Structure formats: structure tokens, C-alpha cells
Structure 1
């Protein structure tokens, strides 16, 4: 029986700008995304029957056709007329509904894994096209790294990412944020402050982490913080404890801070994890989905 193990990585946003809205309701964005070395472990095994079975260590995710991994497996199967089933096991480490593309990353891993198991020989570009049918973040999650994303998030321009020396402290408060709801509150014509993405890209290129951290900006943050003030509280704790800068990722509620050294990041982690158990110190990562033996 064919099986494969994969790492499925999370992302953070170093910026988010909303430029408008398409007729179909999707928002036009321009944002910088960076993969981090926080990952779920996924194992895919082929089944001779036609079922898609999902198992997980997490009780926070659906284990049926409502899970994006189910939709990914079903899409590949139907697109290429494959008459087999799969069992998918997800060891969940990425916080759920966190603004870190955990679900999109898992779906990306299914596309990469089934491409190998079923010898489909699809190019990355073809996988990204299929991934876009599942969600705007899925194409990015396949290869990861650092990109400037535009359009609805599917137009990806690779850029130099964060330096490996930068420590990233990630903290997810125990609350649920609806991405759809946050975006619906945004009127792109009345955004007063926006990120300067070209300046941030230059900071990354020159490894000027301090200036990057001081100028990161997410236009969704004001909306989410208004509903959930704890996000601002976490940012304040990080900046009081030597973070070069702190910001919300995606539509929230996860907050991350950039640190010059691991010791400072770990000290702040020990403060935050008394209140927020989903707190991690990680580095950036150049890969997205990784086939892991």
C-alpha cells in the first residue's frame, strides 16, 4: 500500500493591504507572506475502497467533507478520474482558525502527496492552479518561502525572506475569528494607513529587521482588535519585552513578534504562556510543504 509523510507549514503576514473588491466578493489584496517552521505532520495512505477517511490529534477540525483536506483529495481524484480512496492522518501543531493558513497548508500537502502517490507528475504551477480552486492561500502554501502576493492572494512574486537569525514569537489567544466577517467590515476606499510594501521588501533584502519590524502593517488589525482587544494586549506584552515589532497575522487572532535573539523571545514566551497556551518560538522557513521520508 502506498503512503507518504509530509510537513505542512504555517505562514505569517508581514503586511496586508486591501485594495478593492471583485464582483464575486473576493477582496483584492497586496501582502507579504512568510513561511515559518511551525508545521503539522500529515500521513496519507492509499485505500482500495473509494472512501476518504480523516483522522487527527485535534478535536477542533472537522473530520468529514467540510475539511479542506477532504476537498483537496476529492478534487484531485475527480480531476484525474482516480478510483481509489485515501486515509489522511493529521498531527496538528498549527493553531486552528488562527490567521496562519493551517487549513490551506494541510490542503496543499494533500495535493503534493497525492501527486506523488498517484504518479500524476504535475508541475508546481499545475498544483497551484488546482490549489486556487480550494482557497486563495493554498497556492502559496505549496512552495512557501517569502512572497509578495497580489490579486486575491494567488499572484505570487518571490522575494527575499526574513533572516534565519530572526526569532519569531507566535501567540494565539483562545478565540475564534471569522476571516469572512473581518473582510466584510473593510471598506478599501476609507483605509487611512497602509503598508509600504516596496519599503518592506527593501528592508528584507538588506536584512534591516528593525526597520521592517517598525513598519509592518496589517489593515485588518483595527477591525479585529476592535472586536477582540486581547490582540492589542499581546502585542503590548511583546513590545514591552524586547520585540522589535509585533503584529497580527492574517485576519487574526494570532500575534507574532520579531526578536533579535532567542533568549529574549523565550523570556517573553514564558510570560505569555501563563495565559495563552498556544505560544511558540520559531524561525522562518524557505520551504512550504516538505515530503518527509
Structure 2
């Protein structure tokens, strides 16, 4: 196989708790992440030089979003270079061509870029017939960023073009609890619900939010042990622990996000919460018709909004 299309799924955070910054500047997290069916398409081709050499690998990236970088600032590019540096000597020299059809909003707390990076790791594992298991794939993904390993778990679960051992790996999951730097993952039961994701026309700096959260008063924190139990029991009580402590900073410093959350709270949703550090807010519904109606209303108000569903 010299070509593969990998579905690169968005994620939302059902909960986020954050500890005090460590000596290395990172904040330990304890959170539950859930994959959505909303996705980018990452098409990979490997064009061999057929010159009898190995290890000389070029990387080319293109995307339908003119403003996205296609060099080392792009996680998909970084992922390809990581794979080439690590495993290039095992394959014929050639060119990795990556074509990303973006749907997921950029810099929105939905792990769009992280998912693209994971998709490239997965895709080259297949194209180069490396036979890496999901644990090794996740270790590579962890070198790219904190959300990338979770993206790899969800892609392994829902990309049916992948080899069966990858799809059936015990770690393949569309919902997981993440601790430490967000790369220590435990698959958990997720939800199966219609969801609307929406964002105002602003960006929020993740670095700024994490630096600012230390000075915020956190009124309520999620009980993630209880959340995992309620998810496993399919209990609506799980919504009680859909809590994102990063809202304490973002909603205060970015009124547009707070306003969006209030608007979405008036659409009949079961739960409304900010994803990641923002600015995206998501709403969970019991029926897709309600989600689609809410999405239309948000678009009428000028928000970038999409209706989708979770994956189990």
C-alpha cells in the first residue's frame, strides 16, 4: 500500500482538573477526553524514488486552509519527520506527501492539529509496514504533544482501514482519562450523544491560560473517579462532574467565550462546557434534531458552529 486516508477526529474535554505548576513549568492534569465523529481527512502518499537507496525521505504538506503552515510549524510535518528520522533507514527513499482537508477549527481546544500529527504516525506505520503496536505509536505521539497520544487511541478505534490488531488493541478507545502531562491514558466508557461545538471569532492562548490559572480561585473541581464510575453506569449523574477548571481563567479574561457559553445554555442542552483552554464551547443533547436546531441558531448569531456526535 502506497496511499492511505486517515480520519483525524476532534475531541472535547468532559472534565479538566489542573494542579499547580511543577518545576519544569508543566501543570499536571487529570481529565477525561471524548472523541467526536467530526474529523479532518489526512491523505498520505508515499512515492518511492526507486533508486535503490534507503533513508532519504522528503516531506511535503498541503492543506485547504491557506493560513496553515506547511513546514515544521505543522504537527503533521513534524510527525512525518519524526517517523523518517526514526524508521527511514528501513524503507526505500522517497517522498511523503500529506494532504490535509481541514474541517476542525484551528487553535480551538479540539485537538485538530494534534489529531493530524497522530494520523501521520498511524498512516506511515501502515504505509511502511512497520508493524508498530498502539503503545509504540502513542510513545511516538507523546514526543509531539500532550493531546497527540489520545488522538492516536481514538483513531485506532474508529479508522477501519487500519489492521485489525491495531483496531482491537485494548488501548484503542474513543474516551480516556488522562493524567500527568496528559499522556498517561486509561480507556474509559464514553457517552453516545449528539453534540454541538461552537466558537467565537477569537483565539485563546493555551500557554496564557495555564500560566494564569495558578492565580485563579477554583470554586469547583471535577471528581474524576466519580465521573468514570457514572460513565460506566451510563448515569446522567456524570454531568455533575463535567467541570473544566480552566473556565476560571478563560471565561473571565475572554468575555466572548463566557457569552457563547450563556447563549448555548439557553438552547435546551443537557450540559454546556468549554473544551480545553477554549475558545470552543460544546453542548450535549439527547436528540440530534435538537442539536441541529441549536446549531442553526448559533450560526444565525454569527458563531462558527457544527453539529456532530460522540463516538463510542
1:236 aligns with 2:246: no
Match of 1:140 among 143, 150, 157: 150
How many Å separate the matches in 1 of 2:65 and 2:2?
25
Partner of 2:298: 272
Residues 92-135 of structure 1 show CA distances to partners (whole Å, capped at 9, x for unaligned) of 01110000100010000000000011111111100111110100
The 2-side partners of 1:41 and 1:204 are apart by 29
Is 1:74 aligned with 2:81? yes
- State how far apart, in whole Å, the 2-side matches of 1:236 and 1:151 are: 31
Verify: 1:179 aligned to 2:206, yes or no. yes
4+ aligned runs moved over 6 Å, structure 1: none
Q: Normalization by structure 2: what TM-score?
A: 0.86
- Does the 8 Å CA contact 1:214/1:244 hold for their aligned counterparts? no
In the alignment, is the contact (CA less than 8 A) between 1:14 and 1:34 conserved in 2? yes
TM score, norm. by length of structure 1: 0.92
2:66 equivalent to 1:59:
yes
C-alpha distance in 1, partners of 2:12/2:225? 18
User: Distance in 2 between the 1:188 and 1:157 partners?
Assistant: 30
Match of 2:226 in 1: 199
Greater RCO (Cα-Cα under 8 Å, separation 6 or more): 1
Runs (5+) with no aligned partner, structure 1: 287-293
**Are the equivalent residues in 2 in contact too, given 1:171–1:276 (CA < 8 A)?**
no
Q: Which residue matches 2:96?
A: 86
Q: Give the alignment's Cα RMSD to 1 decimal.
A: 1.7
The worse-fitting range, judged by mean Cα deviation, of 129-138 and 237-246 is 237-246
Taking the aligned partners of 2:302 and 2:143, their CA distance within structure 1 comes to 34
Deviation at 1:142, TM superposition (A): 0.6
CA deviation profile, 1:227-264 (whole Å, cap 9, x unmatched): 21121222222221211110100000000011111122
Stretch of structure 1 that moved more, 26-35 or 195-204: 195-204
Unaligned runs of 5+ in 2: 50-56, 155-173
1:1-293 superposed matches below 5 A = 2-48=2-48, 50-82=57-89, 83-144=93-154, 145-162=174-191, 164=192, 166-187=193-214, 191-209=218-236, 211-286=237-312
Q: Is the 8 A contact 1:19 1:188 kept in 2?
A: no
In structure 1, C-alpha distance between the alignment counterparts of 2:42 and 2:137, rounded to whole Å:
18
Q: Distance between the aligned counterparts of 2:33 and 2:264, measured in 1?
A: 21
Task: Give, in whole Å, the separation in 2 of the partners of 1:70 and 1:48.
Answer: 18
Distance 1:216 1:151 in 2: 19
CA contact (8 A) 2:270 2:284 kept: yes
Relative to structure 2, which stretch is displaced further, 53-62 or 92-101?
53-62
CA distance in 2, matches of 1:265, 1:120: 42
SS at match of 2:15: strand
Say if 1:161 and 1:9 are closer, same or farther in 2 by CA, change over 3 A.
same
Deviating more after overlay: 268-277 vs 147-156: 268-277
1:177, distance to aligned residue in structure 2 (A): 1.1
1:208 to partner: Cα distance = 2.1
Q: How far does residue 277 in structure 1 lie from its aligned partner after superposition?
A: 4.7
Structure 1 position 24, deviation (Å) = 2.0
* Kept in 2: contact 1:44–1:86 (CA 8 A): yes
Give the Cα–Cα distance (whole angstroms) in 1 for the partners of residues 240 and 298 of structure 2. Answer: 21
